[in-house]
């Protein structure tokens, strides 16, 4: 019987009684900040940075996001799957409070569609020992392994089989999901049904280096399922850390979802006004090119940077934004000779504002609400892009000096 620990992103620090291995596991996975108290095995847990679910030392830890699961999933898929813009309306989940099961259900649906016409096949080079000549005879291996024997022959040939990387990736994601004991019944039934189709396919080793996935016309119907599989394997690549047993699960950083979504959505809207947008734009701050900078998003026309945007998913403290973010953006504006810069945060206690820097640029701070319907969030991004393009202060709050 698993113990259970429920955490919530953005909640106030809570005092909990948990075994030391669980505390060590949460720290090793960078889930939250844990501060030991005077009482043995009691910790103050705050600053929760990830969402999802994970099993640590016989304890199931569930981390609930502030944003609804449906909306969080819409943001995630919009940002990560550019060829399939997901909206929340056609996506239905059995449970609104379980990110792991939600992604499992979405993956099961995508995989069912992908393999509806059967598993795709591909040519794979096979080393084998056979009693007849097939493919290329490996003479060196023949002499080394079977000196003086005429058969079997050591050969290499191409076989047209189902056991290819795309199918291995899908099967491994299915197996990884099914290992989790608290998966929703609907998702488990769907995944078990799919697993039978992959009987001739091997799974990828747990710690195998990631193989680059190439999306081609041959595997077109697999594209969405493959991208979800990569997401599942990346979020569930948990391992033994410092002697603490970390079992199956799925964890994801909220800041990566937010930054990916805003970078893609705002970039597309700015490009509608001309020019090009570049995320994670690499440049240098000093004349000697020794100080590297990497704004989250820049908008360029030709070789000229027209606007610079930094995207931050941070919990506000006492209704204010961190000063360090402001200093960073001022440096970006100075580097590119801009009179304005834009900071975008996930909406929280603080409101949008305009900061007039003495002898410097004007910084606009924008709070993007994630609790609105997904279409409203896109409309808000569209309005923000229009204001940046027109260099208007339509979303500005009171001037802060």
90-99, 106-115, 131-140, 312-321: range with highest mean pLDDT: 106-115
The upper half-sphere exposure of residue 109, i.e. CA atoms within 13 Å in the direction of its Cβ, equals: 10
Give 293's pLDDT tier (boundaries 50, 70, 90).
Answer: very high
Q: Picking from 144-158, 171-185, 216-230, 287-301, which range would have the lowest pLDDT averaged per residue? A: 144-158
Residue the block writes with tokens 């996935």? 213
Which carries the bigger pLDDT value, residue 51 or residue 138?
A: 51
Q: What is the pTM of this model?
A: 0.76
Residue the block writes with tokens 């991208």? 227
Q: Is residue 401 scored above 50 in pLDDT? A: no
Give 391's pLDDT tier (boundaries 50, 70, 90).
Answer: low
- Predicted confidence at residue 84, as pLDDT, reads 53
Give 15's pLDDT tier (boundaries 50, 70, 90).
Answer: very high
- Could you please state the CATH topology (level 3) that the domain comprising 272-400 is classified under: Trna Endonuclease; Chain: A, domain 1 (3.40.1350)
Q: Is residue 104 scored above 70 in pLDDT? A: yes
Q: How far apart are the first and last CA of the chain?
A: 57
H helices within 69-203, ranges in order? Answer: 69-80, 99-114, 139-145, 165-178, 185-195
Spatial strand order in the sheet of 3-8: 3-8, 59-64, 50-56, 246-253
Task: Give the largest Cα separation in the chain, rounded.
Answer: 89
φ and ψ at residue 184, rounded to 5 degrees:
-65, 145
Query: What is the average pLDDT value for the chain, to the nearest integer?
Result: 82
pLDDT in tens, 233-272: 887 655 444 455 556 678 888 888 899 999 999 999 999 9
Give 394's pLDDT tier (boundaries 50, 70, 90).
Answer: very low
Beta bridge partners of residue 385, listed in sequence order: none
Question: Which segments of the chain belong to CATH 3.40.1350?
Answer: 272-400
Q: Is residue 360 scored above 70 in pLDDT? A: yes
pLDDT in tens, 177-233: 998 877 888 889 999 999 999 999 999 887 666 677 777 888 888 988 898 898 888
pLDDT in tens, 338-358: 999 999 998 765 678 899 999
Give 331's pLDDT tier (boundaries 50, 70, 90).
Answer: very high
Q: Picking from 79-83, 261-265, 384-388, which range would have the lowest pLDDT averaged per residue? A: 79-83
- Predicted confidence at residue 224, as pLDDT, reads 84
Give the closest residue to 250 by CA, choosing from 173, 170, 165. Answer: 173
Token code pair at residue 164 = 């290819």
- Predicted confidence at residue 335, as pLDDT, reads 95
Contacts 24+ apart (CB under 8 A), 133-140: none
- Predicted confidence at residue 210, as pLDDT, reads 67
Run of H or E including 375? helix 374-390
- Predicted confidence at residue 96, as pLDDT, reads 46
Query: Is the distance from CB of 352 to CB of 360 less than 8 angstroms?
Result: no
- Predicted confidence at residue 135, as pLDDT, reads 64
Report CA-CA distances (Å) from 297 to 83, 343, 344: 21, 10, 11
């Amino acid at each position: 019987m698993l113990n259970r620990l429920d955490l919530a992103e953005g909640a106030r620090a809570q005092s909990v009684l948990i075994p030391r291995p669980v505390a060590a596991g949460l720290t090793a996975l960078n889930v939250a900040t844990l501060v030991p108290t005077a009482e043995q095995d009691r910790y103050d847990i705050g600053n929760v940075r990830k969402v999802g679910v994970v099993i640590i030392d016989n304890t199931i830890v569930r981390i609930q996001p502030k944003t609804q699961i449906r909306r969080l999933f819409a943001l995630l898929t919009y940002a990560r799957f550019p060829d399939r813009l997901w909206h929340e309306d056609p996506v239905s989940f059995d449970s609104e409070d379980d990110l792991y099961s939600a992604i499992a259900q979405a993956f099961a649906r995508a995989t069912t569609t992908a393999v509806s016409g059967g598993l795709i096949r591909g040519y794979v080079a096979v080393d084998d020992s056979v009693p007849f000549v097939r493919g290329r005879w490996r003479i060196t291996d023949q002499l080394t392994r079977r000196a003086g024997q005429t058969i079997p022959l050591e050969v290499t040939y191409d076989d047209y089989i189902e056991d290819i990387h795309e199918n291995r990736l899908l099967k491994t994601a299915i197996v990884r999901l099914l290992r989790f004991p608290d998966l929703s019944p609907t998702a488990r039934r769907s995944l078990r049904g799919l697993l039978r189709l992959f009987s001739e396919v091997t799974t990828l080793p747990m710690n195998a280096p990631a193989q680059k996935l190439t999306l081609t016309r041959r595997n077109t119907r697999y594209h969405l399922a493959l991208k979800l599989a990569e997401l599942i394997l990346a979020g569930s690549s948990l391992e033994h850390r410092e002697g603490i047993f970390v079992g199956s699960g799925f964890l994801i950083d909220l800041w990566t979802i937010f930054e990916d979504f805003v970078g893609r959505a705002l970039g597309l809207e700015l490009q509608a006004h001309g020019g090009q947008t570049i995320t994670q734009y690499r440049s240098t701050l000093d004349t000697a090119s020794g100080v590297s900078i990497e704004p989250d998003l820049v908008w360029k026309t030709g070789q000229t940077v027209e606007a610079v945007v930094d995207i931050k998913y941070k919990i506000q403290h006492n209704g204010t934004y961190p000063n360090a973010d402001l200093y960073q953006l001022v440096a970006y504006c100075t580097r590119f000779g801009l009179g304005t810069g834009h900071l975008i945060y996930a909406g929280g206690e603080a409101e949008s504002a305009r900061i007039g820097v003495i002898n410097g640029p004007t910084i606009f701070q924008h709070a993007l609400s994630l609790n609105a319907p997904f279409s409203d969030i896109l409309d808000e991004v569209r309005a923000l892009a229009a204001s940046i393009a027109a260099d208007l202060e339509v979303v500005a709050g009171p001037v802060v000096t």
